[in-house]
Amino acid sequence: MNTSAEMDIGPLTWVKGEIDLALERVIEALDRHGLGGEDSPHLKSARTHLHQAHGALSIVGFDGITRFSEALEQLLEAVDEGRVAYDQSIADAVRHAVAAIRNYLEDLIAGQPDQPLRLLPMYRSLSAALGQAEPAATDLFFPDLSLRPPQRAQEPAALDPAEFVARAKAARLAYERGLLKWLKKDPRGVQEMRSALAVIEMTQVQPAARSFWWAALAFMDSLAAGAIDSDVGARRVCARIDTQMKRLIEGSRTVAERLMRNTLYYIAVSGPASDHARSVRSAFHLDKLIPKPADMADIEPLRPILRACREQLAPAMEDWNRFCAGTAAALPQFHDRIRELIGRADSLQHAELSRLGRIILGTTDELRRTPLAHSETLALEMATALLLLDSALDGFQHLGSEFAEQAATVGNRLDAALRGEPLAAMEIPHLDEMSRQAQEKLLLGQVVKEIQANLGVVEQSLDAYFRDPGRVDELAALIKPIKQTEGALTVLGQERAVEVLRECEEAVQGFIAAPQEFGQAAFEDVADKFSALGFFVEQLQHGPADIDRYLRKAAAANVDDAPEQSAEAELERARRLTKTLVGALRKQPEDDALRGEIRQSLEVVRDNAELTENTALAEQAATVGNRLGAALRGEPLAAMEIPHLDEMSRQAQEKLLLGQVVKE
């Protein structure tokens, strides 16, 4: 999930248009389906378009909204298959869910944090429409599990395998004693469980292996402080921790992602119950994942108006930047957009927001009448006012009393700038920061265009050279646009990007000096770096950007500290292996060695299905594994509630039983 302090919304901006179009077509198809009756083909069309939107979401790294769209897909599938009747309540639920996806993505692009729990009420409504039990909140809770605990002041001595197993077994026994006490309402049990987990945590040297146990200690602190209710969910986490200890003793360090997420969720919602819990909350940025009550408020009726205003404001701000850069024709376009925007904003019925809009429009009216009144000061003050309006639309449901003072201050400064009066420094910190941002935005818009133009020239020429190295003489002309780009990035303070550009310049100089010494690998390296710079500059227009993300050159971690494969991934791998082995057994039905391998693979399926709470699959794998074990010992296969199983040959029975697990 994209949970870093600075979200990378670049990939989302690239596919946002595609997602919006697909979602619009979902609603259009459903409207036609409602008119067409049960035999209408439009429901399948709606499912196709929703699947396209879901596919685009799945590649941009925001797991919560992707899970939400998956639930919506399941509802449409149930309707299409006749399991759920398509009545007005279902139509409304789908329409609201589609709107929620669009609004959530717009909030992300506008700078709101990625908090999919904001969608929890509607997510539960989708489950209710499907006739399912209420889903857990953790379905929409996706902390960054790649984060690690801080380094210890002193690392414990490594244990030999035998000593580790002995210590872990003793710790598990103590944990189970504490668990029994806690289940019997004895408060001492939680402390005993925590002490046992502390023993396990101290045996883990590598941060990746230690991470879960370190977090589990904070879970116990919250449980002991009464910050976590002793409900079914908490008891399930405690039981899963016991299972995890069993797996650790057996030699597996794999931790189910669901267990880690559940553990961190309880820590996140319980508050800092201890210093250790505070450390865990900080390490995993948990405070950023829990929405405030105001964020859960329903402003759905106003969403279409807010969206339309933001869609109108974005190009208006670009028009203003173009006008300030010398394009006189951009002023009438800016004027028209602002007039239309303010008309829409009035329907939000927010007096101070409307007042700010009218001040901006009035200033533009006067500027159209007297263009010579324009100045650098007015350019900056108008840009500040537009940023304040943009901020107000983005955070509409959080606007407080301070917004009235901010709007009045901006209005007074606009009037003064229009009259050519000198302006004092901003006295309101928020507006002072916004003024600085406005100045940066004016500069950024101009500089980014220059950079993109230069990069386009460079990439086009390099592409021609890579295709035909005989055109090496043309490369000398690239040094000038590269130097210009370097200067522009320096002005923006992007030192790391400048370093990357200098590496590219050095490579180009090498191509010129000794073209015969470089091959395809060098060409691809330079092409990748210029491509990364292009994406980086595009992202700069939307907020902070990190060139190294696009270069994919994160510092190599210690191999031993590589993230452990999740139980979900291991389960999927075991299922694929089982399927392959079953296919081989069909071709060689007398091969007992294959049966043994399948049985071992089924044990892995069972263990990981238990960890991921897939009870049905775990039971199925265990049952089939037992049947194969009996077959290997020469015993008859027992019936498994399958009609006529006892009338089949042993090979036919095996195929049917194995086929059920492979299908699962």
pLDDT digits (tens, 9 = 90+) for 115-131: 999 999 899 999 999 98
Q: Give the pLDDT band of residue 336 (cuts 50, 70, 90).
A: very high
Alpha carbon 39 to chain centroid, angstroms: 38
**In the CATH scheme, what is the code of domain 301-382+397-424?**
1.20.120
pLDDT of residue 430: 52
Report how far residue 611's alpha carbon sits from residue 605's, in angstroms, rounded to the nearest whole number. Answer: 10
The structure tokens 């939400």 sit at 68
The CATH topology of domain 441-551 is Four Helix Bundle (Hemerythrin (Met), subunit A) (1.20.120)
- Spatial contact of 541 and 444, defined as CB atoms under 8 Å apart: yes
Q: Give the pLDDT band of residue 556 (cuts 50, 70, 90).
A: very low
pLDDT at 642 over 60: no
Give the pLDDT confidence of 506-520 residue by residue, as tens digits.
Answer: 989 998 888 777 778
Mean pLDDT computed over 246-257? 90
Share of the chain above pLDDT 70, in %: 84
- 47-56, 190-199, 247-256, 395-404: range with highest mean pLDDT: 190-199
Spatial CA neighbour of 217 closest among 171, 143, 280: 280
DSSP 393-448: HHTGGG--THHHHHHHHHHHHHHHHHTT---PPP-SHHHHHHHHHHHHHHHHHHHH
What token pair was written down for 302? 């106003």
- CB count within 10 Å of CB 229 equals 11
Q: Which CATH class is domain 10-140?
A: mainly alpha
| Three-class SS state of 156 | coil
Alpha helices by DSSP H, listed for 225-274, are 232-249, 257-270
Kindly report which listed range (87-96, 205-214, 572-581, 601-610) carries the lowest average pLDDT score.
572-581
pLDDT at 245 over 90: yes
**In the CATH scheme, what is the code of domain 161-287?**
1.20.120
Domains 161-287 and 301-382+397-424 share a fold: yes
Spatial neighbors of 583 by CB under 8 A, at least 6 apart, are none
pLDDT of residue 643: 36
pLDDT at 247 over 90: yes
Kindly report which listed range (98-102, 370-374, 479-483, 620-624) carries the lowest average pLDDT score.
620-624
pLDDT of residue 634: 56
pLDDT of residue 425: 62
For the chain, the structural domain boundaries read 10-140, 161-287, 301-382+397-424, 441-551, 567-663
The alpha carbons of the chain give a radius of gyration, in whole angstroms, of 31
Q: What are phi and psi of 285, to 5 degrees?
A: 55, 40
Give the pLDDT confidence of 166-214 residue by residue, as tens digits.
Answer: 999 999 999 999 999 999 999 899 999 999 999 999 999 888 889 999 9
Give the pLDDT confidence of 269-309 residue by residue, as tens digits.
Answer: 988 889 999 999 999 999 999 987 656 555 667 778 888 89
Name the residue with higher pLDDT: 516 or 15: 15
Count the alpha carbons within 13 Å of 79 in the hemisphere toward its beta carbon: 31
pLDDT at 657 over 80: no
pLDDT of residue 272: 85
Q: Give the pLDDT band of residue 656 (cuts 50, 70, 90).
A: very low
- Spatial contact of 624 and 657, defined as CB atoms under 8 Å apart: yes
pLDDT at 406 over 50: yes
pLDDT of residue 640: 37
The structure tokens 């990748």 sit at 528
The structure tokens 């309101």 sit at 428
Mean pLDDT computed over 220-244? 92
pLDDT of residue 636: 47
pLDDT of residue 23: 94
The CATH topology of domain 567-663 is Four Helix Bundle (Hemerythrin (Met), subunit A) (1.20.120)
pLDDT of residue 155: 84
